[in-house]
Amino acid sequence: MTSKVNMRELFHGMQQEMTQKLNLLRKNVVHAPTKGDAVELSWIEFLATYLPNRYCVDTAFIVDNTGACSEQIDLVIYDQQYSPFVFCHAGVKYIPAESVYAIFEVKQTLNKRHIIYAGEKAQSVRALKRTSVPIVHAGGTYPPRPVFDIVAGIITTSSDWTPTFGRAFQKVTETLMPLQCLNIGCVLDGGSFLLKPDETFEISSSEEALIFFFIKLFTQLQNLGTVPAMNIDLYSQALDSI
């Protein structure tokens, strides 16, 4: 005989656990940089726990085959299964642009300055050059996969605005250029948002902010499919022997 699990309770339990953890950090960690690092780590641990193993989550810089480099990104979701390499130098990670699925800026509060800053971070990644080469398989060769639009967003604990996603929020997002577009975001105390194809926002309740954010993010990652096969020869041209 099968039993039933209350999925609503499981989802809400996930949200309560994360909220309690971040609230504890907010109350007990006073020094701003330390608090910021701790919050970033909490989000990295959360996503790494609940996303499938094909996805890796880290703080990193993004690079392309020309040597161009993004600003440091608080939270990068990237491919672990098909990426041939991730550079790690002096404890800092550098991820090839082709391997990136999504990027997020993590802040304490949602406001105009932080949205613009997150948009600028997104632009620094999306402006990088990405390659795609054919994939050889047992039955022949798959053509190069078109590169997809990298998902970008912002994650905060609270908001400076009431309501969280009212006219003030929308006015700021309307000023962002295409490469700066924020597709998704979470304000743990106030709700989450998803930018729809018609450029309107789908908004969650504050009680289901984390649940909404995770499900919508996972759906977007699924829709992206697999990262393109990078042209590793172009990266290796930096070496004298090649």
Structural domain boundaries, residue 199: 22-130+144-230
**Is-catalytic flag, 74?**
yes
**Is-catalytic flag, 37?**
no
Q: Is residue 39 part of a domain?
A: yes
Q: Is residue 163 part of a domain?
A: yes
Q: How many CB atoms lie within 10 A of CB 71?
A: 15
Q: Is residue 7 part of a domain?
A: no
Higher-pLDDT residue of 140 and 151 is 151
Q: Is residue 14 part of a domain?
A: no
Of 93, 107, 121, 216, the active-site residue reads 107
Q: Is residue 110 part of a domain?
A: yes
Mean per-residue pLDDT for 179-202?
96
Mapped onto helix, strand or coil, the DSSP state of residue 16 is helix
Of 79, 98, 105, 216, the active-site residue reads 105
**pLDDT score of 136 more than 90:** no
Mean per-residue pLDDT for 134-147?
86
- When divided into structural domains, the chain yields a total of 1
| E strands present in 51-115 | 55-63, 73-79, 87-89, 92-96, 100-110
Q: Is residue 190 part of a domain?
A: yes
**pLDDT score of 237 more than 90:** no
**Is-catalytic flag, 105?**
yes
Q: Is residue 3 part of a domain?
A: no
Token pair, residue 224, equals: 């992206």
pTM: predicted TM-score of the whole model, two decimal places: 0.90
Q: Is residue 207 part of a domain?
A: yes
Of 64, 74, 79, 98, the active-site residue reads 74
The Cα 203–Cα 55 span in angstroms is 25
Average pLDDT, the chain: 89
> What distance, in Å, lies between the first and last C-alpha atoms of the chain?
64
